[in-house]
Chains A and B, each alone.
Chain A
Amino acid sequence: MSPILRVADLRVSFATDEGVVHAVDGVSFDVNPGEVVAIVGESGCGKSVTAQTLIGLTRSPNATISGTAIFGGRDLIDLSDDELRTVRGAHIAMVFQDPMTSLNPVYRVGDQIAEMIRAHREVSKREALTRAVELLHSVGIPNPERRARDYPHEFSGGMRQRVMIAMALALEPELLIADEPTTALDVTIQAQILNLLRTLNREKNTSVVLITHDLGVVAELADKVVVMYAGQVVEQASLDELFYQPQHPYTWGLLGSIPRPDEIRPDRLPQIPGQPPSLRNPPTGCRFAARCEYVFADCVQPPPLRSGSGIGHLDRCWLSADAKAGRR
C-alpha cells in the first residue's frame, strides 16, 4: 500500500523586515490511505505552515519553498497555481481553525458549499444546492433544507465547524487537512466534532492530517503522530508507540504536562521551562537543547532524525536508547 502523500524535506521560509524566518526546516512524513496523521506541537512550531503549504496557501513573493510533496503522482510544490487549484477542494480539502471567521458572512451557507462544488464540477446551481443540503445532513445538521439558506452567523460555533467539514467533503477528497479544528470550540462540542471526523475517516476511508497542540485530541483520533518543534520534526511514531514509549525529551515534557486523573495531583503542573528558539536565527545544534533537562555535550551538534526503538519510530535526539528508556 503506497502512501497517498509523501512529504520529503519540506522547507518554507519567509523574508520579513527583520530578517528571514525559517518556519519549516526539513519536514518529512508519509500519509497512508485511510490513515489519520496528527501533527503536534506548540504555537509557532511550523505545523500550520506545513499544512497550508501542501495546498499552496503560503505561496507569496516573500516565501521560499523547497522540498517535495508527492500526491497522486505529482509534486504539489512544483505544480502551477492553476494545476494546484484543481487539487484544492477536489482532492485535498482543508478545514480551518476558527469557523466564525472562516466563512464569508454575506453569503448563505448553502451557496458557499455550492460554490465549491461548481468550481470543480459541471453542475447546475440547483443540483449543487441539493448536494449541499445532503452534505449538511450527513454532518448532522438538523433541518438542512432550511439551514442551507441561513447565514454563517446564524449558526453556533460547533455547527459552523460542521458546515466547514461538510464543505470540505463535498467532492469526496482523498485527503482532509484539519488545522486545529476543535481549538476554538467548547470541550463538549469538541468531542462531537472529533466523533464526526472519526466516522468520516472510517466510513469513507478519507485520510486525515490533523494539526493540533492538544494531545488529548491526538489520542482520540490519530493513527500516527508527528511531533514538531521549532520548524523540525523531533519525533514520529504510531500512536501507541508515542504514548507508551516516547523517545524525545520534548515529547516527555508534553506528555508530562497533561493532567492525569489517575495520579495524585501534583502541586504544580509540570511545565517545560523557557521559550522556543527564534526561527530567524535557529540555533546550530539541537534546537531543544536550551530547554532540555537532559542536555549534554553532544547536543551542540544538530541531531539527525533516525530510527530508534520501534518500527517506523523516528526521533531527533542524541541520547542513547538505554538512556531514553531509563529516563522517561
Chain B
Amino acid sequence: MLFVFIVVFCLAAPLWADHVAHTGPNQNHITDKVLVGGQLTDVVAPDGTPLGPGLRGRYLLGADQNGRDVMVRLMYGGRTSIYIGVLAAVITTLLAVTVGVLAGYYRGWIDSVLSRILDVVWAFPVLLLGIALGTTLALGGLRIGGIQIAGDSLWIPILIIGVVYVPYMARPIRGEVLALREKEFVEAAVAAGKGPLRIMIAELLPNIISTIIVFSALNIANNMLLESALSFLGAGVRPPNASWGTMIADGYQTIYTAPHLTIVPGLMIVLTVLSLNVFGDGLRDALDPRAQIRPGR
C-alpha cells in the first residue's frame, strides 16, 4: 500500500511543478548566489562544480552545471517522462488489443499476416529499432498524409515506444483469445446471431480485461525505462525538453564531480518504475481467481 502512495506522489508531484517551483526548469542561474547555512554561496562554483543537495527552500537537490535547479528540473522532467510512458502505453494497449483480438478471433490468413508482422517487430532488437527511429525522425520529423510532427516534438518518442512494445502485449492477448474462443459462451453468442464485432467487444473483451490492465501497468514501467535509455543515447527526448533520461545523460558528463546529477534522476526512475511493478504485481495477485489457503491468523 505504501507503494500506491509513492506512485501517486511520483505521478502527481510533476503536476504541481508549476505552482511550487521558484524558477523555470531551463533557466540558468550560473552567476546566482544562494544562502547556505547563513552564508552566501555560489550556485555554480568558479571551477564549474555546481551546488550539491541540501535542506533548503531553493535548490533542494542542488544545481547542475548550468545553474539550473535540479529539483525543479526533476519535477518538470518527471512530468515529461511520465507523460511519455503513459501515452505510449495507451498506444501500445490500443494496438496490441486490436491486433491480438483480431488475430485470435479470426485466425486463418488474418492471423498469419498479423503474426508475421508481430514477428518482424519482435525480431528487431528493441533498442536498435528505437534508436534508429528516434534519430532519423528527430532530424526531419514525420509526415504522414496531412499530419506533420516536428522532429523535436514529444510525440516522436511516444509513437516509437508505443509501437515497439506491441508484440510483447499482443502475443499473450492473442493466446488468451485463441483459448477463449473455444469456450461455450462464444459458441452460444454465435448461435444467437451476434456479429463478430459484438462478440469481440461484449464477450471476449471483459474476459481479458484483467490481463490487459496488468500488462498495461507493467508496460508503463517498461516504457519509462525505454524512454530513459533512448534519451540517454540522444534518440529520445530532445532539448530543450527535459526528461529524467536526458538529465542522467547530462549529469553523466560530470559524474565524478557532481554525482548527484546522475544519481537523483535515476533514483526517481527506479522509484517510479518500482512502484508500478509492485502495483502491477499486486494487481495480478488480486485478480488471480485461484484462492489460496494462507497461514492462520
Contact = CB atoms under 8 A, between A and B. Distances in A.
Contacts of B295: 15, 61-62
Interface string A11-36: 00011110010000000000000000
Contacts of A17: 291, 293-294
> In which size bucket is the chain B interface?
under 10
Contacts of B293: 14-17, 62
B195 interface: no
Contacts, number: 18
A282 to B, nearest CB: 18
Q: Is the interface of A mostly helix, strand, loop or mixed?
A: strand
Interface string A238-256: 0000000000000000000
A276 B151 CA distance: 70
B205 to A, nearest CB: 30
B290 to A, nearest CB: 13
A14 B291 CA distance: 14
Contacts of B297: 15
Nearest to A16: B293
Nearest to B297: A15
B295 to A, nearest CB: 5
Nearest to B294: A17
Contacts of B294: 16-17, 62
A15 B295 CA distance: 7
A20 B297 CA distance: 10
Nearest to B291: A17
Contacts of A20: 296
Interface in B246-297: 291, 293-297
B37 to A, nearest CB: 55
A16 B293 CA distance: 5
B257 to A, nearest CB: 54
A17 B297 CA distance: 8
A61 B291 CA distance: 17
A17 B296 CA distance: 7
A15 B297 CA distance: 8
Nearest to A60: B293
Contacts of A14: 293
Contacts of A62: 293-296
A255 B197 CA distance: 52
Nearest to A19: B296
Interface string B139-168: 000000000000000000000000000000
Q: Which of B291, B295, B296 has the largest count of A CB atoms less than 10 A from its CB? A: B296
18 contacts: A14-B293, A15-B293, A15-B295, A15-B296, A15-B297, A16-B293, A16-B294, A16-B296, A17-B291, A17-B293, A17-B294, A20-B296, A61-B295, A61-B296, A62-B293, A62-B294, A62-B295, A62-B296
- Smallest CB-CB A-B distances: 3 pairs: A15-B296, A62-B296, A61-B295
Given A15-B296, A62-B293, A62-B296, 15 more contacts: A14-B293, A15-B293, A15-B295, A15-B297, A16-B293, A16-B294, A16-B296, A17-B291, A17-B293, A17-B294, A20-B296, A61-B295, A61-B296, A62-B294, A62-B295
